[in-house]
Amino acid sequence: MKKWNLIVDVANCTNCNNCFMADKDEYDGNTFPGYTFPQPRHGHRWIDIHRRERGSGSLMDVAYLPTMCNQCDDAPCIAAATNNAVYKREDGIVMIDPVRAKDQNQLVEACPYGHIWWNEEHRVPQKWFFDAHLLDMGWSGPRCVQVCASGCLSAARLEDEEMQAKAAAEKLEVLKPDLGTRPRVWYKNLFRFTREHIAGSVATVIAGHEEVCAGASVTLLKNGAKIAGQSTDFFGDFKFDDLTSGSGAYSMHVQWRDLTGGAAVELAGSVNLGVIMLAGNGK
Ligand code: SF4
Ligand code: SF4
């Protein structure tokens, strides 16, 4: 049977919060019997966007990570519920029954992703449920996908084997895979949020003036072996990304025309090496 999945491209999220606002608009003040009580106007963030800055100076970057209930196939919240209050639908969506879940505040702590909230007025735990009430009326996807102007959210209803093949082909990852919860929310370019970069600029002195070296060849080495290479851009900048935090010593070899140079770094977190000056008189 085909099941729902959500795909998030971290590289394209602009933090516009349209997804959060659409979710709030859908549930604030609205009861959907069998699906949910209203979402409180304040406090709950069924769709939340996290922010991370990496590096420094002109080469720092920022990435945004939209998060929500992962609709886990092996969901700790289902295991923690009594009275069958949390269940998985045949289409993969995890539901909290708003009546059966009354007073079950243990469910808030049961979610290892922090995506269950407590509604004190109705005394129920609540979370994002893929807008299942809309899908059941024939919608082609949840509201967050509809309003995401950058296109970084997409919904896919696929057989599990098809989704696994798509994940492998597009290098999709899930959050906290070590927990074994088997999420149905997948992330593209997750390294922008979870991993590190080494950035820098290349310059030299020509006729007494400092000039950037556009098109310089920069090689990244680990233990003396090349692991990546790239050319500096128009501004003489380079950035090697998708590196493991705390992965130790790296070195860089730089070549521009007949000039060479280099740098070494111990990678703790993302770093801007600053300007690598190539000695000599580039022509
Ligand atoms: S993300 Fe949390 S609330 Fe959602 S299914 Fe998984 S454990 Fe349950
Ligand atoms: S609507 Fe799309 S771009 Fe905007 S914050 Fe949400 S996921 Fe990011």
Mutate to test the pocket of ligand 1, among 6, 115, 174 (most ligand atoms within 8 A of CB): 115
Q: Which of these, 199, 193, 189, 269, lies nearest to 239 by C-alpha position?
A: 199
pTM over 0.75: yes
Question: In angstroms, rounded to a whole number, what is the distance separating the alpha carbons of residues 133 and 33?
Answer: 9
**CATH code given to domain 3-193:** 3.30.70.20
B/e letters for 87-108, b = 16+ CB within 10 Å, e = fewer, are: ebbebbbbbbbbeebeebbebb
Question: In angstroms, rounded to a whole number, what is the distance separating the alpha carbons of residues 262 and 154?
Answer: 42
Ligand 2 centre and the CA of 19: distance in Å? 6
Q: What is the pLDDT along the chain (283 residues), one digit of tens a residue?
A: 999 999 999 999 999 999 999 999 999 999 999 999 999 999 999 999 999 999 999 999 999 999 999 999 999 999 999 999 999 999 999 999 999 999 999 999 999 999 999 999 999 999 999 999 999 999 999 999 999 999 999 999 999 999 999 999 999 999 999 999 999 999 999 999 999 999 999 999 999 999 999 999 999 999 999 999 999 999 999 999 999 999 999 999 999 999 999 999 999 999 999 999 998 654 5
**CATH code given to domain 196-278:** 2.60.40.10
**Residue ranges of domains in the chain:** 3-193, 196-278
Burial of 114 (0-12, 13-18, 19+ CB in 10 A): exposed
Shortest-distance atom of ligand 2 to CA 8: 7
Question: In angstroms, rounded to a whole number, what is the distance separating the alpha carbons of residues 244 and 197?
Answer: 9
DSSP code for 43: S
Size (the chain), residues: 283
Ligand closest to Cα of 49 equals: 2
Instruction: State whether the beta carbon of 47 lies less than 6 angstroms from ligand 2.
Output: no
